[in-house]
Amino acid sequence: MNDKPIGIFDSGIGGLTVAGEVMRQLPNENIIYFGDTARFPYGPRSAEELKKFVFQIVEFLRGEEVKFIVIACNSASSAALEVAQEHFYIPIIGVVESGARAAVQVTRNRRIGVIGTKATILSSAYVKAVHAFDAGVKVFQQVTPELADFVEKGEVVGKEIERIIKGYLKTLIEDDIDTLILGCTHYPLLSATIQKIIGKEAVLISSAEEAAKEVGEMLTRKGHKRKINEAPNYRFISSGDKSKFLELGSRFLGREIKNVEEIKLGQEGN
C-alpha cells in the first residue's frame, strides 16, 4: 500500500488524456500532473534537449514525493525514457511500449501505421517497440508535425484540420494498414476526425488508455496501490501561463479542473 501520488507529465495539456484514463481506471490514486506549457512543443526539439527537460521534471516530481512517474508524452518517452530509467531509482514508464503492444495484439493483416511528432517518428521508437513484440509486423510511419499545435489551441474539428489529416493519412491508407497508433498524447482528441478519414474498419490505438492500463498493472504487482477509500487529491501544474490550461484542460481531462498552479522550471526555451 502506498498513498503517495502518481506523477504524470507532458509538454502541455495533451498528457491530460493519459491522466484522465488513469483517474478513470484507478479512481483511488492521488495524481500530480505537470504540463511543461512554457516549453511546448517538444516535437521539433532534439533528443538532447528533451533528455534535459525530462531530468528536470523527474527531479521536480521526486521533490513532490511521487511514488511512480508516467512520461505522458511520446516525444519525451522516445528520447529519454531509457536514460531516465537508468538514472533514477523511482519507477518510470513511458507511453510507447504499451501502445505498441496493443497494436500488435489487434492487427490482423500485420500492417501497422504510426503517426507522431518529428521527435517520436525520427527516433523509430515505435518500430523498435512493435518489433520487440512481433518482428514480422510491417510498420509504416508518418510525421504529423502540425497536429499537436492544433490540439493545444483547442481546434480539434473543422475543415482545416480535416484537410491536414487527410494529407497525412493518404500514404498510410495506400499502405493498407488496419491499425493506427496515435503516437502522441494530444491525438486522442482528434480520434473522431481521424476515424472518419481512415475508415471505420481501421483500429485506432490511443496511448492514453494503454498507458493507464500499464500503470494499474505496475501498481498492483508492486503492491503500491492506494488503499484508502477517500476522494483522491489531484494537483495540476503548468510551467507557463495557466489561463489556457484552465480553459482547455477540462476538455482534455474529461472532468473539471478548478485550480492550476504555475511553477517555472529552468528558463523558458532552455
Residue numbers at the binding site for ligand DGL (CB under 6 A): 10-12, 14, 40-43, 73-75, 117, 120, 148, 184-186
Query: In the complex, what is the shortest distance from the CB of residue 208 to ligand DGL, in angstroms, rounded to a whole number?
Result: 10
Nearer of residues 42 and 234 to ligand DGL, judged by Cβ = 42
Residue type for position 95: V
Question: Using CB atoms, what's the residue nearest to ligand DGL?
Answer: 43
C-alpha cell at 231: 476522494
Query: In the complex, what is the shortest distance from the CB of residue 214 to ligand DGL, in angstroms, rounded to a whole number?
Result: 15
Query: In the complex, what is the shortest distance from the CB of residue 98 to ligand DGL, in angstroms, rounded to a whole number?
Result: 13
The Cβ of residue 27 has, within 10 Å, a number of other Cβ atoms equal to 11
Q: What residues does 119 pair with on adjacent strands?
A: none
User: How many residues are there in the chain?
Assistant: 270
- CA atoms of 15 and 34, how far apart (whole Å): 9
Active site residues: 73, 184
Nearer of residues 8 and 137 to ligand DGL, judged by Cβ = 8
Query: In the complex, what is the shortest distance from the CB of residue 140 to ligand DGL, in angstroms, rounded to a whole number?
Result: 18
In terms of C-beta density within 10 A (0-12 exposed, 13-18 middle, 19 or more buried), how is residue 210 classed?
A: buried
- CA atoms of 209 and 176, how far apart (whole Å): 25
Nearer of residues 40 and 234 to ligand DGL, judged by Cβ = 40
Residue type for position 222: K
Nearer of residues 80 and 198 to ligand DGL, judged by Cβ = 80
- CA atoms of 265 and 267, how far apart (whole Å): 7
Cα 26 to Cα 18, 217, 252, 255, distances in angstroms: 12, 10, 18, 15
